[in-house]
Amino acid sequence: MSQESSAKPAKPAKATADPAHPVAQPGSSDFIVVSNRLPVDRVPQEESDDGWRRSPGGLVTALAPVMATREGAWIGWHGAADETLAPFHHGNMDLFPVPLSADEVELYYEGFSNSTLWPLYHDVIATPEFHRTWWDTYQVVNKRFAEAAASAAAPNATVWVQDYQLQLVPQYLRALRPDLRIGFFNHIPFPSPEIFAQMPWRKAILEGLLGADLLGFQRPNDTANFLRSARRFLGAGVKARQVHVNDASGHFSHISRAEPFPISIDVAQIQQLAKNPDVIARAKQIREDLGNPTTVLLGVDRLDYTKGITHRLKAYGELLDDGTVQVEDAALIQVASPSRERVETYKQLREDVEGMVGRINGQHDTIQNTAIRYLHHSYPVEEMVALYLAADVMLVTALRDGMNLVAKEYVAARGDNSGALVLSEFTGAADQLKQALLINPHDIDGLKAAILRAVTLPKAESSRRMRSMRRQILAHDVQRWSEDFLSTLAQKAVRDDS
Ligand code: F6P
């Protein structure tokens, strides 16, 4: 199978046709984000007015508002195979699409990124597969992203590489452009060395990451896991979260620093929408459409096996079976946005979830009431905030999650301090949202008890908990996250230069 891109020759994207905003010339961008996906995905014309749709996932949710306030360039794949697009302007960003052939989508994206790294880094909830052809393509594609960044960057520019799909980019980029300041942020967990040990190419991955001047992780534990792996598998000298990195001939090259930077959300945007009369009216409408039940419960996830959707459905189904929750009084809305649909584990999960929803609804629905409204769609942020406002109880039951921004968005939307959050202790968000009703999703009885508690929580207690969680989230938005990361990266460079 070919590992070179079989992409077609460059054609301009529709969004280029804005003469007022010419795209930055190669070699002139001072601030660059590099991620697997661009913030917008190319979709067939019939699916959107302009042929573009917002990309899925937490990474774009977090970085789009950061980039909106900084003029910068964003390098990433535009979500369609075998298509080469010219750079174009979007918002106030220059977008540089990186082409991927259909083979590369299969081997680099669906294969190594999402069937090897994703399950391995999420504590092997699913079994990771290790294939040499996938690894070969991962290297080829990571080189292409590094070359794109090297060509876009101005002298001494800052380049911020994102997430597990691009772990080799820092090293490749440093080799091409030693003048750059290189940051890397890992949005998902970093596993313990005992699990990371399974990776056949563990040394190469650690060396790839250590090309960065600053490595950011979600939790202190992820940072510690990475540093322990660097020590154990590379024999690297590690002191006070700083790794001494040597070049291929064993001479000192640079210091790479690893720190936790828990990511957050665009608090102002969510708060603004939560006060918008149209959004408030839509929330009311949602409750009416459900028959105005006493309690609306909500789950919002990418349809991913790490999110614990089946555990949540099992617990909720048993509460209905026990008669503790009645279909006339409560409705659960489960938004499960489509994700990685060609990967086998995701196809299986969809069958499992839809089978469970069908069984529970078949058993408990009445002509008037439906136990679970299952929505296999993605929604714009306005509709998401309306759902947050409509929900008395938010259920986040992930088995493992780097952060979970949905939990933070729910809290940001609840301006009147009402509402209860049931939150898995295996999410990064649990570090910050300590006043949530924390659960272990594997403990179904414990989960049932927490759901019941959330449904019946006295107003004074839910309000006290929500107020405390809101204090945390309002003081730590995504702008602060990016400023913390980028100022640490800038300080780091100053110290090394001195
Ligand atoms: O943060 C996890 C992440 O994999 C992001 O890198 C990505 O943007 C998002 O989830 C959605 O995944 P995908 O790009 O595979 O649809």
Query: How far is it, in rounded angstroms, from Cα 51 to Cα 69?
Result: 25
Rounded to two decimals, the pTM is: 0.94
E strand segments, 179-314: 181-185, 214-217, 237-239, 242-246, 252-260, 295-302
Phi and psi torsions of 187, nearest 5°: -80, -15
Domains 10-263+480-497 and 267-476 share a fold: yes
Catalytic positions, please?
187, 401
Query: How far is it, in rounded angstroms, from Cα 236 to Cα 230?
Result: 6
Q: Ligand 1 centroid to 372 CA: how many Å? A: 26
Instruction: Say if residues 217 and 190 touch (Cβ distance below 8 Å).
Output: yes
Find all residues with CB under 8 Å of 365, minimum gap 6, and list them: 327, 371
187 lines ligand 1 (CB under 6 A): yes
Q: Ligand 1 centroid to 252 CA: how many Å? A: 35
Q: Ligand 1 centroid to 185 CA: how many Å? A: 13
Query: How far is it, in rounded angstroms, from Cα 10 to Cα 220?
Result: 43
DSSP 208-219: HHTTSSEEEESS
The CATH fold assigned to 10-263+480-497 is: Rossmann fold (3.40.50)
- Name the residue at shortest CA distance from atom 12 of ligand 1: 57
The closest-lying atom of ligand 1 relative to the alpha carbon of residue 114 is: 15
**In tens digits, what is the pLDDT along the chain, a chain of 498 residues?**
333 333 444 444 444 445 567 788 889 899 999 999 999 998 877 777 778 888 888 888 889 888 888 889 999 999 999 999 999 988 788 999 999 999 999 999 999 999 999 999 999 999 999 999 999 999 999 999 999 999 999 999 999 999 999 999 999 999 999 999 999 999 999 999 999 999 999 999 999 999 999 999 999 999 999 999 999 999 999 999 999 999 888 899 999 999 999 999 999 999 999 999 999 999 999 999 999 999 999 999 999 999 999 999 999 999 999 999 999 999 999 999 999 999 999 999 999 999 999 999 999 999 999 999 999 999 999 999 999 999 999 999 999 999 999 999 999 999 999 999 999 999 999 999 999 999 999 999 999 999 999 999 999 999 999 999 999 999 999 999 999 999 999 996 554 544
Q: How is the chain split into domains, by residue range? A: 10-263+480-497, 267-476
The CATH fold assigned to 267-476 is: Rossmann fold (3.40.50)
